Amino acid sequence: MNIGMIGLGQMGWNLAKNLSVAGYSVAGFDPRPDSRQRMAQINVQAADSPASLAAGTDAAVLMVLNSEQAESAVWGENGFAAGAAIDKTLIIMSSLSPVFVRALAARAEGRFRVLDAPVSGGVEGARAATLTIMASGPADLQQAMMPVLRAMGKNVINVGHEAGLGATMKTINQAMLFAALASASEMVVAGVKAGLDPDTIIKVISISSGGSWALEHRVPLAWQTDYVSGATLAIAAKDMRSATELADSLGTSATIAREVRRLVDIGMARHQGEGDDPLMVEIIEQLSDFYIKSRTGAVSL
């Protein structure tokens, strides 16, 4: 089977590499010249456009930043739709709003098939092929694409047979992630300001009832890697917008999600849309007028 990858940023690059390692013939498209030049390093053939990629592959993975990029990659001039046919499959692994994914699938009806399959696990999971993949779409399509998905992820879970349910699952996951990150950031900053060592806080809480993935894998990067994770704050901003929009469309409460979105927007404004998601810690540090790096020294357990 020939597989395409549309978008070879940090996530797409690792997904394409894993597909190649699994024995698939992989073609890739990315508008950045440096990315196209480096594709040969991972045995990926560079395509001239999403349209030519669609024409030359059986299925293509979409891994772009946001709905605007997805719209261009799929429906723009020389987009995927221009080269696709009814026997082609577009696997949407980008984190996009459920409303957008449902509309894309409806528009694709009779032109090409759509599998909604967003992922969780970050760049680390993409690199190690241990992602959780939340698949939704027709049962026969999920079955046909299962080997492809398993080349990229460890846990492939059927969340429904309607495109948009995968995106919904991913949206609520992201809202919970960033809410946990904001809460953990607040309390770690408070704990260090009170005199605790930050690494000791992580160690104790991670094996206690307050532990979370965000606490273990994001908060410590504030002082360990100077807020660098490889997962951007812009993604957090996009995901929190999707979460509040989903709640609005359903008429459900989103009190905490709105506050987390406000905090992320503060960070986006401060850093002009640049930087990674551990900057959530810095946002709390700034609001608290205290930076973790300024005080350490509690005795480790």
Query: What CATH number should be reported for the domain holding residue 30?
Result: 3.40.50.720
Confirm whether 301 is domain-assigned: no
Q: Is the pLDDT of residue 23 over 50?
A: yes
Q: How far apart are CA 284 and CA 280, in angstroms?
A: 7
How sure is the predictor about 297, in pLDDT bands with cuts at 50, 70 and 90? very low
The C-alpha angle with vertex 53 and arms to 51 and 56, in degrees rounded to 5, equals 110
Any residues with CB less than 8 A from the CB of 29 and at least 6 apart, and which? Answer: 4, 5, 6, 7, 8, 46, 47, 48, 49, 50, 52, 53, 73
Q: Is the pLDDT of residue 301 over 60?
A: no
The domain of 176 spans 168-293
- Whose CA is closest to 206, among 226, 180, 227, 176? 180
How sure is the predictor about 296, in pLDDT bands with cuts at 50, 70 and 90? low
Confirm whether 299 is domain-assigned: no
Tokens of 191: 């704990």
pTM above 0.85, yes or no: yes
Catalytic position from the list 88, 170, 238, 293: 170
Contact between 166 and 118 (Cβ < 8 Å): yes
Q: Is 88 a catalytic residue?
A: no
pLDDT tens for residues 128-178? 999 999 999 999 999 999 999 999 999 999 999 999 999 999 999 999 999
Q: How many domains does the chain have?
A: 2
- Whose CA is closest to 141, among 176, 105, 173, 175? 105
Let me know whether 204 and 237 are in one domain.
Answer: yes
Average pLDDT, rounded, for the chain: 95
How sure is the predictor about 231, in pLDDT bands with cuts at 50, 70 and 90? confident
The arithmetic mean of pLDDT across residues 99-115, rounded, is 96
State which of 161, 191, 207 marks the end of a domain.
Answer: 161
Let me know whether 131 and 85 are in one domain.
Answer: yes
Any residues with CB less than 8 A from the CB of 196 and at least 6 apart, and which? Answer: 298
